[in-house]
Structure 1
Amino acid sequence: MRRDWLETLLLVFLSAAIGALGWSGHVALLPAALFFPLLWAKAEDRWTALLVSSAYFLSASRGLPIGASTYFAADFWMGLALWLVSALAFVLIHTLLWTARHGWQRPLRYSVVLVLTGLPPFGITGWAHPLTAAGVLFPGFGWTGLSMTVLILSYLIARPGLRSALLLAGLWLWSAVFWTDPALPKGWQGVDLSMGASLGRDPSLRRHTDLSALVLESYGAGASVIVLPETALGFWTPVIERFWQNVLKDRAVSVMAGAAVVTEEGYDNVLLLLDSQGGRIFYRQRMPVPIAMWRPWERFSVDPGGTLARFFAKPVVKISGTRIAPLICYEQLLLWPVLHSMFYDPEVIVLTGNGWWTTGTNIIAVQQASAAAWASLFGKGLVTAFNR
């Protein structure tokens, strides 16, 4: 009995360590997440599978308690509660689909796990998905590389042992040696900001003047397409549109910028394309942050609020002759938004985020590492613009 408990504690410890290492925010360390299914398969019973899954997910998402507490201006206990609730779907799926049977049963069941944790509705909190590491192992292989990663996971689960672990470690080492960061497309420039919680909440002319100065600086340096972070422009109004139209007048430059647009049911978190002709919405966020932004229960109240979720809305748009896949903030942590976009074969992935609330965490680093892995897997350019 004591030996069984020691083995369980070892599996839990290793699972937590893998979650912390793989989701540290360093793209080269993402393949550590592929060891988690091996540990899940090594569990001797359903109780151990629950503990192993909990340790991995909670360790991987360890920035959430602090981030949520900051966002809601609440005490740490509220952040802790949201952290635990966010783990429920991931842990429940891994616990219920675990089996003591060997052979093809485990790989088959884990394939179901990969789908359920990657797609809505459970995939809404499907962070720390092991398949994100496919881009590190098989850069440029696209859907074939993703399929090969699934086959590797199936082998690890079917034969969970030292030989499988060494095989994965060797493949990981090989990929690290040949890793190169995704390229920034020529003429494109992402602008990172350090404006804290004031970004998007300060509607003053001075704020827009400061932002326009940064845009013109990038334009002067040769950029023809400039990206500003999520909600950089705040609530979009005709007055703000005229301001930016005057700024960009007679200049051959396009600006992508985040904003909020009021609707009858709340608001949309959008990306706008600005040029000398004015501004237009070209992307509406498919998956906002649950609870913080997306509160579907409010649609049935007399005073609806929050932003809408458009799970499978338009995933790719053409800007300045280039097909792009925009991903706003929370979408960068999930599986299906990026795969949905890749199905339409864009040329560039554009990331925007307003992570003022992530101070003291590695959440932005994890978002950027995940996007770099996907861009590498499918051979796409990558442009990022974040506010801290």
Structure 2
Amino acid sequence: MTDRWKSILLVVASILCGRIGWSGEVLFLPLATFFPLLWSKASSRTIAALVAAGYFLAASRGLPQGVANFYAADLWPGLLLWVMASASSVIVHAVLWTKPRGENASERKGTDAARALRYLIVIVLIALPPFGITGWAHPLTAAGVLFPGWGWWGLVATAILLVLMTGRRWQIAVAVLGGLHVWSATNWTPPKLTPGWMAVDLKQGGTLGRDSSLAYQRDLIDTVRKAAEAGKAARVAVLPESALGFWTPTVARFWQEGLRGSNLTVIAGAAVIDPRGYDNVLVAISADAANALYRERMPVPGSMWQPWLRWTGQGGGARADFFSNAVVEIDGIRIAPLICYEQLILWPVLQSMLHAPEVIVAVGNGWWTENTSIVAIQKATATAWARLFDLPIVMAFNT
């Protein structure tokens, strides 16, 4: 086979890895672990960049349509953002690629060791800021499918297999990954549920949180109370991101009054605004108290998080709280909150896991993802992390 055809096949295979692995089906996530093998087989740095581009662009293929939906525009702004968002991961893979192994045994051994070390660096770089800010489609996410319940050891084992994929012993890694995938698929069980916790999904589309009237809040309170009554023993209800709109003292008091006479605690998304910008938050409300529980660590770059506005003195945009409030507590239970975009990248969930949470709470407002698989991918990744660390998860989304 000529180098040209080999390169074409590598790029096509990387596109399939990204497309199928990140289809929104949790059990397909292990297909992403074959990407390091394809990257390592590239014959040049240019081909390595094309292989990486094929994988990351295919994995995030819903972004152009999502941006078009969000801004009610044509596809061109979305296409531009799609390419820019994948650029950081592609650049890391291109820069750290190294030439294929040499002719003699000593050269092959040295090249394999160098490539393994370089890919380990790649894994870390695209998992953590600044590259990790857009480091979605990380192959390590498959750890929850391959090693459910193993926690940090499962993450380490997956990293080792990914590194082995880039060396001479890649056939062994493929065989092990294949066996683990088959075993997991035949023995798969969904994450546990937390007794007394419930999710309230909404289908309000782009109107969610944009109605500032108290009538809207009253209807939402009625929806929550009816869902809680149907859930019988429910004592904590989780609503999607942005469900409450702007968080004000008036809204807080209105919800407290609306929950009077019940033992229910509501966790819901809202926005806290000030002259310099806003925080995308989760609030906790009961009849006795109402307060901001969690401030989003990583809002969506570009559409929400716009740091250049602050740098130029303009203000505005969502604030990124980065490494703060990784775990919050409610009713004596430590929860790991993940809002929307935080479910697609590694460092927020891994930071939360360092603090030994008892429940994962994942919320999103996915109205703008119509005709894409973005919400399904968010749910699949959140589910994988819950299975890896053997934690119950509550997911609430608006579509």
TM-score by length of 1: 0.97
Structure 2 counterpart of 1:158, one-letter code = G
Alignment pair present for 1:290 and 2:301: yes
Contact 2:218–2:258 (8 Å) recurs in 1? no
Amino acid at match of 2:219: D
Q: Secondary structure at the match of 1:251?
A: coil
| Equivalent pair of 1:71/1:357 in contact (CA under 8 Å) | yes
Of 119, 125, 130, which residue of structure 2 is paired with 1:110?
119
Q: Deviations over 1:91-144 (max 9, x none)?
A: 000000000152211111011001110100010000000000001000110001
1:188-230 C-alpha deviation (Å, 9 max, x unpaired): 0011111001001111223212211121012212210000000
2:241 to 230, 249, 252: 230
Q: Are positions 1:369 and 2:369 aligned together?
A: no
Question: What is the Cα deviation at residue 168 of structure 1?
Answer: 1.9
Are the aligned partners of 1:288 and 1:294 in contact in 2 as well (CA < 8 Å)?
yes
Q: Aligned-pair distance for 1:240?
A: 1.1
- 3-state SS, counterpart of residue 157 of structure 1: coil
CA distance in 1, matches of 2:382, 2:341: 12
Is 1:180 the counterpart of 2:189? The answer is yes
Equivalent residue pairs, number:
387
Contact kept? 1:140, 1:379, Cα under 8 Å: yes
Over the matched positions of the two proteins, sequence identity in percent amounts to 53
CA distance in 2, matches of 1:377, 1:284: 25
How far has the Cα of 1:367 moved from its partner? 0.5
1: CA distance, partners of 2:170 / 2:116: 14
Partners of 1:281 and 1:216 in 2: CA distance: 21
Q: How does 1:50-65 map to 2 (within 5 A)?
A: 50-65=49-64
Amino acid at match of 2:16: A
Tell me the secondary structure at the aligned position of residue 269 of structure 1. strand
| 1:160–1:196 distance in 2 versus 1, CA, 3 Å | farther
- One-letter amino acid of the structure 2 residue matched with residue 378 of structure 1: F
Pairwise CA RMSD: 1.2
Query: Hey, what does 1:204 align to over in structure 2?
Result: 213
Secondary structure, aligned partner of 2:112:
coil
Q: Which residue number corresponds to residue 335 of structure 1?
A: 346
CA apart distance, 1:300: 3.3
| Structure 2 gap segments, 5+ residues each | 102-110
**Residue matched to 1:134:** 143
Please give the alpha-carbon distance, in whole angstroms, between the structure 2 residues aligned to 1:342 and 1:300.
Answer: 32
Match of 2:325 in 1: 314
Q: In 2, Cα distance between the equivalents of 1:188 and 1:161?
A: 44
2:177 aligned residue (155, 161, 168): 168
**Hey, what does 1:253 align to over in structure 2?**
264
Which amino acid is 1:153 matched to? L
Distance 2:201 2:90 in 1: 35
The CA deviation string for residues 243-266 of structure 1, in whole angstroms up to 9 with x for no partner, is 111111121110001000012320
Give the Cα separation in 2 of the matches to 1:352 and 1:165: 35
Q: Does 1:97 align with 2:93?
A: no
TM-score by length of 2: 0.95
CA distance, structure 2, for counterparts of residue 20 and residue 154 of structure 1: 22
The one-letter code sitting in structure 2 at the alignment partner of 1:347 is E
Residues 47-104 of structure 1 show CA distances to partners (whole Å, capped at 9, x for unaligned) of 1101100000000000000001111222101100000001110000000000015221
1:16 corresponds to 2:15: yes
Q: Secondary structure at the match of 2:268?
A: strand
Report which stretch shifted further, 229-238 or 153-162: 153-162
Matched, 1:215 2:215: no
Is the CA contact (8 Å cut-off) linking 1:89 and 1:125 kept in structure 2?
yes
TM-superposed CA distance for 1:384, in Å, is 0.4
Structure 1, unmatched stretches of 5+, are none
The change in CA–CA distance for 1:204 and 1:34 in structure 2 (over 3 A counts) is same
1:26-105 aligned within 5 A: 26-100=25-99, 101=101, 102-105=111-114
Determine the structure 1 residue equivalent to 2:335.
Answer: 324
Looking at structure 2, the residues matched to 86 and 154 of structure 1 have their Cα atoms a distance apart, in angstroms, of 25
Counterparts of 1:91 and 1:113, CA distance in 2: 10
Is it true that 1:299 corresponds to 2:304 in the alignment? no
Taking the aligned partners of 2:181 and 2:254, their CA distance within structure 1 comes to 50
Displacement after TM superposition at 1:160 (Å):
6.0
The whole-number CA distance in structure 1 between the counterparts of 2:312 and 2:135 is: 28
